[in-house]
Amino acid sequence: MLSVYEQLVERVEHHLNVIYEGVKLDTSYAELSKQLLDTMCIDNNELLIEPKRHHNNWDQKDVMLITYGDSVEKAGEKPLHSLHNFLTEYCGDAINSVHILPFFPYSSDDGFSVIDYSSVNEALGGWDDILAITQDYRVMSDVVINHCSSRSAWFENFIKGEGPGSDFFYTASLEDDISQVVRPRTSDLLRLTKTAHGEMQVWCTFSHDQVDFDFRNPAVLDTFVSIIRQYLDTGIRIFRLDAVAFLWKKMGTSCINLEQTHEVVRLLRTLIEHAVSDAVIITETNIPNRQNLTYFGNANEAHGIYNFSLPPLLVNTLVTGSCKHLKAWLGSMPPAQNGTFFFNFIASHDGIGLRPAEGLLQDHELTDLVNTMQNFGGRISWRTSEDGKQKAYEINIALYDALQGTVKGTDKWGLERFICAHSIMFGLEGIPGIYIHSLLGTGNDYEKVKNTSQNRSINRHKWDYTKLQEQLASPFSQNAKVHDRMIKLLNIRKEQAAFHPSATQFTLQLGDHIFGFWRQSMDRSQSIFCIFNVTDEPQNLRLSDMNLIGTDIWFDLISGHTMSMEDIEYQLTPYQSMWISNIRT
């Protein structure tokens, strides 16, 4: 009978065999396996425990705030300290997790061009500040695994041809077949770089300041395992694998979602789970829906995947007044197995990605959505499609402004539309992630776009903490209205067993103007019917269409009202949300 450690060694060897098949290595899989386990500080001892399979390390109380380390700043105070104060003062128990976007020294892309993975950006604070936040919240850190900064010590050593990192980067030649390569950018893929060994064409999926790693070199994999181990030691428990879909390259292919990439994710999950049993991997794969779902594997790959199709579909629903596409998509989505979850979000530091809507919205509908968002002050980022044409890649806009009106133009329902969007998201199967500027109702930052010349800056406002406190103390400010209603919804949500991330979900058929789904707790004691008017006109809801059990007493958790079964119909006001439960908590 093999020990847990011996079984683990065999499993890691299997992962390595899949990853490096056809790659000539200077070491055996057995030796590399033990090296990786040593790097992750997993010892051969009797205390090593096999992680539980199909086990949920999360429940309905799990809600994540997405923020930069300096989204709130106060003069004379380290931004990470100010962020910690904001979390304590304005999030309280409504939010228990925080995704601090890359907090490392960087050269571009607001942190995603990392210079040094082992250090905290001094402008934000230090590891002691990160550790302090981990004492009160579960922290998600980015692992920018596909590329690093061209100003990193590793790339400087690549140019010199010696030292750590000198063999970390992927190169190609102008004669290689890169015609099928899928990319999210329009810049040249290859960057001409003069090195001590001559001119090299360095692979750059995103920008010429973001140089791609070559994972055919096992030293790159071992280095990232050591990085993850360091983060675990500082209390970080959730790892966002940024741009991981592009990790493995093979000439003559699309260089996206290759089998070796999936196997690297499986290997990292194996190592992380054996090091800290409740640590979690979330893959950031901004790609069409079917491809995104593959990163669950067989509940042996990512614990969570970003629900990238939700933002464009939900925004489209609320600006058109039709939930046809959102309803069809939700009804077709497979439930996440126990041990996995959807990470739901509507807004983030990036824009509203349009690739995940491909095949779900028709071209003319995408065009209408893009035009509507431009009318609301949004910007568009472009990519080069497989046939060489320019296509809209993402919409850059603050969510509050994205929902200020419909395809007909702006109107008076912006706040209600915005709250409706989040009421939908908070009720869905999965764990919700809320961008700090959605929690605060922050609008488009045109000044920052002007200063940076970057479209994405429109939704990356930096709040002066004192001014923010003044706004949140004013009950009639846009920011206070949004914040108070969002926190109220979250406090209701966390008490509902039917909102467990893995609880049953069933899409309701209530026409195109009323969106609805049913959630049932895992012990089947609680049912919640989530009902939403997605239009700017009143809509009549027939209670018989929901098939409520007449012997139960039903409550709208949001308004607190008891439902009268004697009423045949309820009239929903524009963008009204209802969470109709058989249990009042």
Residue 401 falls in the annotated catalytic set: no
Q: Are residues 402 and 549 in the same domain?
A: no
Residue 101 belongs to some domain of the structure: yes
pLDDT of residue 184: 84
Q: Are residues 482 and 508 in the same domain?
A: no
Q: How far apart are the first and last CA of the chain?
A: 49
Among 181-190, 373-382, 449-458, 539-548, name the one with the lowest average pLDDT. Answer: 539-548
Q: Which amino acid is at 578?
A: M
Residue 482 belongs to some domain of the structure: yes
Q: What are phi and psi of 562, to 5 degrees?
A: -85, 135
Q: Are residues 561 and 514 in the same domain?
A: yes
3-state SS record for 202-255: EECCCECCEEEECCCCHHHHHHHHHHHHHHHHCCCCEEEEECHHHCCCCCCCCC
Residue 472 belongs to domain spanning: 64-144+223-238+259-499
- CATH number, domain of 420, equals 3.20.20.80
pLDDT of residue 539: 97
Contact assessment for residue 408 and residue 436, using Cβ atoms and an 8 Å cutoff: no
Residue 261 token pair = 């990439």
pLDDT of residue 386: 67
The share of the chain scoring above pLDDT 70, in percent, equals 99
Give the residue ranges of DSSP H helices in 435-477: 436-439, 446-452, 465-473
Neighbours of 311 (CB within 10 A): 28
The annotation places the binding site for substrate at: 109, 147, 240-242, 349-350, 456
Q: Which amino acid is at 8?
A: L
Residue 216 belongs to some domain of the structure: no
Residue 449 belongs to some domain of the structure: yes
Residue 300 belongs to some domain of the structure: yes
Residue 233 belongs to some domain of the structure: yes
Among 38-47, 321-330, 370-379, name the one with the lowest average pLDDT. Answer: 38-47
- CATH number, domain of 525, equals 2.60.40.1180
- Helix (H, G, I), strand (E, B), or coil: what is residue 95? coil
Among 87-101, 297-311, 378-392, 474-488, name the one with the lowest average pLDDT. Answer: 378-392
Distance CA 317, CA 327 (A): 9
Q: Are residues 557 and 424 in the same domain?
A: no
Task: Evaluate if residue 114 carries a pLDDT over 70.
Answer: yes
Residue 161 belongs to some domain of the structure: no
Query: Model confidence at 545, in pLDDT bands (50, 70, 90)?
Result: confident
pLDDT of residue 375: 97
Contact assessment for residue 269 and residue 281, using Cβ atoms and an 8 Å cutoff: yes
Question: What separation in angstroms does the CA of 85 have from each of 79, 82, 359, 469, 489?
Answer: 10, 5, 43, 11, 22
Among 180-194, 240-254, 539-553, name the one with the lowest average pLDDT. Answer: 539-553
pLDDT in tens, 318-353: 999 999 999 999 999 999 999 999 999 999 998 898
Catalytic residue among 242, 401, 445, 536: 242
How many distinct structural domains can be found in the chain?
2
Where does a domain end: 446, 470, 499? 499
Residue 175 belongs to some domain of the structure: no
Q: Are residues 281 and 430 in the same domain?
A: yes
DSSP for residue 552: S
Contact assessment for residue 60 and residue 501, using Cβ atoms and an 8 Å cutoff: yes
Q: Are residues 263 and 278 in the same domain?
A: yes
Q: What is the DSSP string of 108-125?
A: SGGGTSBS-TTS--TTT-
Task: Evaluate if residue 36 carries a pLDDT over 90.
Answer: yes
Q: Are residues 549 and 493 in the same domain?
A: no
Stretch (H or E) spanning 227: helix 218-233
Q: Are residues 292 and 433 in the same domain?
A: yes
The winner for highest mean pLDDT among 107-111, 148-152, 385-389 is 148-152
Where does a domain end: 499, 517, 551? 499
Query: Model confidence at 550, in pLDDT bands (50, 70, 90)?
Result: low
Where does a domain end: 465, 482, 499? 499
Distance CA 441, CA 427 (A): 20
Q: What is the DSSP string of 246-312?
A: G----TTS--SS-HHHHHHHHHHHHHHHHHSTT-EEEEE--S-HHHHHGGGTTTTS-SEEE-TTHHH
As a whole number, the mean pLDDT across the chain is: 95
Q: Are residues 357 and 401 in the same domain?
A: yes
The annotation places the binding site at: 109, 147, 240-242, 349-350, 456
pLDDT of residue 118: 97
